[in-house]
Structure 1
Amino acid sequence: MFSRLRRLPILLFPLCISLISCFSNAYGNEEVHSLNRDDIIISKLHRVVDRSLLEEIEKNGLASVSAGIVGSMIGVSWVGLKTAVTTGSASPLFIDFTMSALLTGAALGTLSVVSRTYLKTPFDFFSRPLTWGVYKYFQVRDWVLHEEPSPELEQKYSEFLDPVAERLKAVVEQVFDVPADYWTITPMDMSAPNAFATSGYNIAVYHSIFPLAKNQAGMACILGHEMGHVLAKHVGQSLSDVIFLNKLALASIPFANSISQNRETQADEIGIYLTALAGYDPSECSRVWDRMTAFGGNLREVVNIFLSTHPTNKTRMNALKQHGNALQEYYSNKPQVLGLGLEYSL
């Protein structure tokens, strides 16, 4: 009798799992049917921006712990560096292959993962004065080094850029409750095609990147990427990495770069979702990186790990092509789409 009762939970366990699965599927189907296409895309976008701890561990856990361990075992000691500078009698480098250093590094690497998930908002807040200063420095540098465009050229830049910026700001306001007037998007006349964002909703777009954007859909991909950095609080995450990982440890560069490259990939994904929600063709995002590759070439993958905080152009192009294909059904059924928008021309 008692032996049969002991077996009863084992017999009931599969039945409970089946019932839970049925209820979950029923609820999941009801949820999917209750959402429209925009809601589904917005839900996916939120998941991309706000990674859970498990997702952060999956994406960056191994690289973080490895960087922490290597940074604790091999690197530059601030005390040793100070002594070497003042007395010249010590080496700033240290090597510590002890169990204590290994465990300390593993703990710091783990803390960096936790901080990127749960402390990115305060770190992002602390980084704002510094990044504001960097933004202002580039504004002043642009003003000192370059002549202002003519009024006619300024108008052409504005006609091309402003409608894209306004549509993206409206989408972000709707999806993330970030007021449109928070954003400052400043064109700058730098030679290298580039754009960058700060943690305080400031974005700089170089005029030299306009031809590579080619059209307003391409510009939406570029602006959306920079907005993705801000929304995901990547600057704050980078600050936490400086604190928890010894960035002076040269041996940790491949691991630290891997984390940075993953942030760029995340910003690309956020950007292509924002592009589609704004009504521009998301398939253009991969073609932007095709044009980037034609302009600047492409580093070999292995070399890129050691030299760059960004993925290779080819890697980004392939990833965006997959995301673009996945978004095509949504985009093709979206009313009042803009396609590629205006073509850029001087």
Structure 2
Amino acid sequence: MRRFVSKFIFCFIFCFILFLASIAAYPDVPIEHQAESTLEAIGLNSEESIIFKLRNSVNRGLSDEVSRTGLASITGGIVGSVFGFSWYGLWTFLDSGGASNLVYINFLSGAILKGALLGALSMVSRVYLRSPADFVAWPYVWYEITKEKIKHWVVYDKPTPEIQQDMSVYIDPVATRLKTVVEQIFQIPASSWSITTMAGASPNAVSGTGYKIILYSPIFSITQNQAGLSCVIAHEMGHVLAKHSGQSVLDFLFFQKWGIASIPFTNAISQEREQQADETGIYLTALAGYDPSECVRLWRRMSAATGNVRPIVNMFISTHPTNAARFDEMKKLSNQLKGYYSSKPDALGLGIEYQL
């Protein structure tokens, strides 16, 4: 009976993975998306086509998720199940006397099946369970942001009213234009967003569920102007719109992320989310009226300021792509947006330069 159940589970998982693979290889094109295919054939020369691309960037379907994270999800699930937090797999291997031992073979086959199923389910969850998971992530995000605010209040002096006024003149127009674009496209009220500026040790920005964004002041020397600032804020908006906080919660449910062996695969999924936010950000920047090619120069400046890590090393140590990889992707998207932006009547160019 036990052998029959194992075979049934194996067949179910195998068929489920084949189903996911078929979706990725031969995605259907529903009637409501036929207009989108036409727009893609035309290119990104109209606002309508960019809005379509923006919506697709934020709300990826299952086929897109499988094609982008399928290998990392399945492999990460298997590796996490074999090793995991307690390193039970390694202990079983050593205690059983080697890989040829029947005890270890039974454990390994079960762990592989379990891991493959978890990896497949993780992709389904990242597409269809993002919203409820994002709600579950809210207390943790609130805690992290509150902790940062308290740290900022304790460690750093409060800026003078003059500096605060100058910062508002620099930041508020960018934030207002981006909020307006998001409100028009995604029906999220502009008043929902909270964008806070804090002092910090490194150029960075963070976001979480609840439409909250924190900008650390060293980032302004990298952005240099309002177009660069727009790239940063819009990137963080991309994380919020795609509900990446919820997806991170789901990764903890489906992957044993504490297992060191699974780190390259879970990092690959996180890096894909960063690239998704980059893509969303450059579309929002262009729609807001700022020069999207500044996003390319932003990552060139970031590389000069923080350096670059070899891709093979970065895969083990970072949840973010290398600066060079982000630069290349931004350059490709910027070239696609040139036609649209060059004919935009209300283009703002680079906006105000940062001089604070």
TM-score bracket for the superposition, by shorter chain length:
0.7 to 0.9
Q: 1:257 touches 1:310 (CA, 8 Å); kept in 2?
A: yes
Q: 2:300 touches 2:327 (CA, 8 Å); kept in 1?
A: yes
Q: 1:73 maps to which residue?
A: 82
- 1:237 is aligned, of 247, 265, 287, to 247
Going from structure 1 to structure 2, the CA distance change for 1:180 and 1:297 (only over 3 Å counts) comes to: same
Instruction: Indicate whether 1:53 and 2:62 are aligned.
Output: yes
Amino acid at match of 1:52: G
Going from structure 1 to structure 2, the CA distance change for 1:99 and 1:328 (only over 3 Å counts) comes to: same
Q: Percent identity?
A: 52
- 1:168 is aligned, of 157, 178, 194, to 178
Q: 1:41 maps to which residue?
A: 50
Within 5 Å, give how 1:6-155 maps onto structure 2.
37-77=46-86, 98-155=108-165
- Where structure 1 has 5 or more consecutive residues not aligned to the other structure, the ranges are 1-23, 81-90
**3-state secondary structure, aligned to 2:197:** strand
Q: 2:36 touches 2:52 (CA, 8 Å); kept in 1?
A: no
CA distance in 2, matches of 1:262, 1:27: 23
Going from structure 1 to structure 2, the CA distance change for 1:303 and 1:26 (only over 3 Å counts) comes to: closer
TM-score, normalised to structure 1, is 0.85
**3-state secondary structure, aligned to 2:196:** strand
Going from structure 1 to structure 2, the CA distance change for 1:102 and 1:167 (only over 3 Å counts) comes to: same
Amino acid at match of 1:316: R
CA distance in 1, matches of 2:63, 2:39: 26
Q: 2:272 maps to which residue?
A: 262
TM-score, normalised to structure 2, is 0.83
Using the TM superposition, give the Cα deviation of residue 211 of structure 1 relative to its aligned residue in structure 2, in angstroms: 1.0
Larger Rg: 1
Going from structure 1 to structure 2, the CA distance change for 1:29 and 1:141 (only over 3 Å counts) comes to: closer
**3-state secondary structure, aligned to 2:84:** strand
Q: 1:13 maps to which residue?
A: none
Using the TM superposition, give the Cα deviation of residue 313 of structure 1 relative to its aligned residue in structure 2, in angstroms: 0.3
| Residues 180-230 of structure 1: per-residue CA shift (max 9 Å, x gap) | 011000000112110000111100001111111000000000000000000
Q: 1:228 maps to which residue?
A: 238
Amino acid at match of 1:49: V
Going from structure 1 to structure 2, the CA distance change for 1:154 and 1:263 (only over 3 Å counts) comes to: same
The CA RMSD measured in Å over matched residues stands at 2.3
Using the TM superposition, give the Cα deviation of residue 77 of structure 1 relative to its aligned residue in structure 2, in angstroms: 2.7
Q: 2:341 maps to which residue?
A: 331
Instruction: Indicate whether 1:184 and 2:172 are aligned.
Output: no
Q: 1:199 touches 1:233 (CA, 8 Å); kept in 2?
A: yes
Q: 1:76 touches 1:93 (CA, 8 Å); kept in 2?
A: no
Amino acid at match of 2:327: M
- 1:314 is aligned, of 319, 324, 336, to 324
Instruction: Indicate whether 1:206 and 2:216 are aligned.
Output: yes
**3-state secondary structure, aligned to 2:149:** helix
Q: 1:212 touches 1:288 (CA, 8 Å); kept in 2?
A: yes
How many pairs align? 311
